[in-house]
Amino acid sequence: MLTLQLRITGMVQGVGYRYALQREAVRLGLSGWVRNRSDGSVEAIVQGAQQAVDALATWTRRGPSAARVSEVVAATPSSAEQGRRYEGFEIRATL
């Protein structure tokens, strides 16, 4: 099982990005969470099979039709996040 942290920048807030990401993650069988950040970006932790995580990471580069993605940074999350096992995919409050 792979855990990946994604940070998406561009016009990604106020366009349904989090909800679309959640739908896509659930469709792919992934678990984790997504939230807006106060700097205007969207952050997500995704967990699941390598192929599904890769597919979601590819999807984040375009997002929903109203979004305009500038950059996606994929990174290894903190050791605390790597050690957690998520069930379902939730939308968290803005940080």
For the annotated catalytic residues, the residue numbers are 18, 36
Rounded to whole angstroms, how far apart are CA atoms 4 and 45? 6
**For residue 46, how many other CB atoms are within 10 A of its CB?**
27
Closest by CA to 21, choosing from 49, 42, 37, is: 42
Closest by CA to 33, choosing from 16, 54, 18, is: 18
